[in-house]
Chains A and B, each alone.
Chain A
Amino acid sequence: MSAAGVTVTTPRACVEPPRRSPLAAARDAWAITGRNLIVYRRVPTLLVFTLVQPIVFVLLFRYVFGGAIKVPGGIPYVDYLMPGIFVQTVAFGATNTAIGLATDVKSGLLERFHSLPMARSAVLTGRTFADLTRNVLVVALMAVVGVMVGFRVQTNALLFVAGILVVLMFAYAFSWIFATVGLWIGDPESAQAATFPVLAPLVFASSVFVPVSSMPSWLQGFATYQPVSVTANAVRALMLGGPTLSWLLQSIAWCAGIVLVCAPLAVRLYRRAS
């Protein structure tokens, strides 16, 4: 028999399409997750570059601007800064979700996936899971960087881990925003360019680097309640102490809201992408 072994099956006109089980969908998502992570093994510099930018921010704010920034409660600025840096790192890192999906749209890989009998959800869940995995690694490395520049957890190890989990929850939700952006734009360079105007106001007009109370009053409303700030505040409270629950609930609400809005949008765009 020849290698290709193509067999012509008899056409059956009225057979129902085979039902797909959730297990099969999970297997497909797992396969796509693995595929998306291989790139970091193959091109490790990608991971290094993901880290360069947050490390520059840490050094800049810890040693250059930090001295001029007054934070309430008399806590050291580095302790105020690092929880915000964790959130900022994953927020900017979510750009990778947009670039990854836009690359797949442009290369035609999504078309091949569309033509395969795989779960429709797998490309998106596989992409966001891979980015979540990358974020686990990046946040862990940033925690090490934080300790090296003098960051100390004021509460306890359990609450620190809880804070990291909040960061990862936020990272996952943000991936869905940028999955939508990536599929919508469909070109990696443009997608990258498009993410900055979205991210800049969220990250800089926030409590990540400076207390919101130092901003003009017209900006304070946005800067207090937008998702990056409430998440940074929740993580800060978990790691340094202070009132936690309200920020935590606001952060969870934001993340749930983002996923509820963006996931269906991204799925619609994925079905249309070609």
Chain B
Amino acid sequence: MADAAIRVEGLTKRFGNVAALDGIDFEVPPGSVFGLLGPNGAGKTTAVRVLATILRPDGGHAEVMGYDVVRQATAVRFQIGLAGQSAAVDANLTGAENLRLIGRLAQMRRRDVAPRADELLARFDLSDAADRPVRTYSGGMRRRLDVAAALVARPPVLFLDEPTTGLDIQSRTELWAVIRELVAEGATVLLTTQYLEEADRLADRIAVVDHGRIVANDTSTALKAQLAGTVIEIGMETEERAGRAHDLLVRAVADHPQRDGVTVRLTSNEGPSALIETLRLLDANSLTPATLTVREPSLDDAFLALTGRRAESGDGEAGDARTDGAHIDGDATGSDGGGGEAGGGGGEAVAASAEPPSASQRARRAA
């Protein structure tokens, strides 16, 4: 009966006139990652707050590991870890003090707290910074500590509320590796994100949230098939050459290319092969592109496809999602081939890539 780690039925929550949650339903099987994808203000964070017993829902029903989030809130709190924008660490405490405080408040046995804190600091490559106040941490270090804080009491269910928003590519990739490890160890993860790419990489199932409703709930593969495919943009030196490239591609590549000045844009569900084909064709006709951009569909594209309108997030946020999408893609083409490395040696990847700050720290200590 209580076979789902998280079960949400008809959940509603209003703030004044705004329905932050307008009746959402979903289930998350144990040991899987469920992604809530949507723009700012869609209701993702409200859903996490209700499930983490921070907010009381107005209606509906939610369970975590079989416990009701309203009637059995304390029992739920023993099952969960919370990280991301809904939670914070204390900037005046050191990293170690923060984790020990959380451990004590999570009712761990006193003698287990300090070793557990040290273990997590080592795992998140924060050992060198363990005794420094968090206010001296970089954004990436702070976010790693935040995720570590969610893990202190070894909760079986994790809520990661936009865990990578505002992080640079490297920190983001590191955090993704950690999340994959946690899931491999059996954790159930509810992840909220504004990035389609992130949901796609981590989540077994994705629910797209808009105005407090779930507009799609499917596996990432199925969802992507519904969405616009990879976007390839080729910039030529002149409009004349762009015109020739366009004509060539119209005849050879099935998906309708569009020309806009010196730019030719085409969308394909088989991005990599379409790209190879396009470049081969252009090369054979001595049309070397001046610029070349490949990007995955953004959240905006996804929304457009699912709701028929643009995502209504704050302007800054929309811009963010955009540029971020483009960024990740640049990196994705590079690291996707080596994706196995992230899965196999995720821990080392974290350790290695966070090297610069810790190396300089060591140097300072040695001096």
Residues in A with CB closer than 8 Å to B73 are 17
A43 touches B74 (CB 8 A): no
Q: How large is the interface on B (under 10, 10 to 19, 20 to 34, 35 or more residues)?
A: 35 or more
Instruction: State A22–B229 Cα separation when bound (angstroms).
Output: 58
Interface residues of A in 1-46 (CB under 8 A from B): 2-9, 11-13, 15-18, 20, 24, 27-28, 31-32, 35, 38-39, 42-43
Choose the segment among A108-116, A151-159, A257-265 that binds chain B (4+ C-beta atoms closer than 8 Å): A108-116
B105 touches A113 (CB 8 A): yes
B19 at the interface (CB under 8 A from A): no
Instruction: State A238–B16 Cα separation when bound (angstroms).
Output: 53
Interface residues of B in 55-84 (CB under 8 A from A): 55, 65-67, 72-75, 77-80, 82
Residues in A with CB closer than 8 Å to B186 are 6-8
Question: Of A3, A35, A42, A117, which contacts B107 at CB under 8 A?
Answer: A117
B74 touches A20 (CB 8 A): yes
Residues in B with CB closer than 8 Å to A115 are 52-54, 77, 80, 82, 86-87, 159
CB distance from A37 to the nearest CB of B (A): 10
CB distance from A108 to the nearest CB of B (A): 4
A114 touches B30 (CB 8 A): no
B182 at the interface (CB under 8 A from A): yes
A220 at the interface (CB under 8 A from B): no
Bits for B85-128, please: 1 = Cβ < 8 Å to A, else 0.
11111111100010001101111000000000001101100000
CB distance from B2 to the nearest CB of A (A): 4
Closest A residue to B78 by beta carbon equals A117
B181 at the interface (CB under 8 A from A): yes
Residues in A with CB closer than 8 Å to B123 are 3-4
A118 at the interface (CB under 8 A from B): yes
B265 at the interface (CB under 8 A from A): no
Name the prevailing secondary structure of the B interface residues: loop
Residues in B with CB closer than 8 Å to A50 are none
A8 touches B101 (CB 8 A): no
CB distance from A19 to the nearest CB of B (A): 9
Instruction: State A188–B230 Cα separation when bound (angstroms).
Output: 46
Closest A residue to B178 by beta carbon equals A4
B31 touches A8 (CB 8 A): yes
Question: Of A6, A9, A35, which contacts B65 at CB under 8 A?
Answer: A9
Q: How large is the interface on A (under 10, 10 to 19, 20 to 34, 35 or more residues)?
A: 35 or more
Closest B residue to A11 by beta carbon equals B66
B185 at the interface (CB under 8 A from A): yes
Closest B residue to A2 by beta carbon equals B185
Instruction: State A12–B101 Cα separation when bound (angstroms).
Output: 28
Question: Of B53, B67, B101, B182, which contacts A35 at CB under 8 A?
Answer: B101
Best-buried of B1, B2, B55, B90 by chain A (most CB within 10 Å): B90
Instruction: State A4–B179 Cα separation when bound (angstroms).
Output: 11
Instruction: State A7–B157 Cα separation when bound (angstroms).
Output: 10
Closest B residue to A14 by beta carbon equals B66
CB distance from B150 to the nearest CB of A (A): 9
Interface residues of B in 152-172 (CB under 8 A from A): 154-156, 159
B89 touches A109 (CB 8 A): yes
A116 touches B102 (CB 8 A): yes
B92 touches A6 (CB 8 A): no
User: Can you name 6 A-B pairs with beta carbons within 8 Å?
Assistant: A4-B120, A11-B65, A111-B86, A112-B88, A112-B149, A115-B159
Closest 5 CB pairs of A and B: A11-B66, A108-B88, A112-B87, A117-B77, A17-B74
B interface residues, Cβ below 8 angstroms from A: 1-3, 5, 30-31, 49, 52-55, 65-67, 72-75, 77-80, 82, 85-93, 97, 101-102, 104-107, 119-120, 122-123, 133, 149, 151, 154-156, 159, 181-182, 185-188
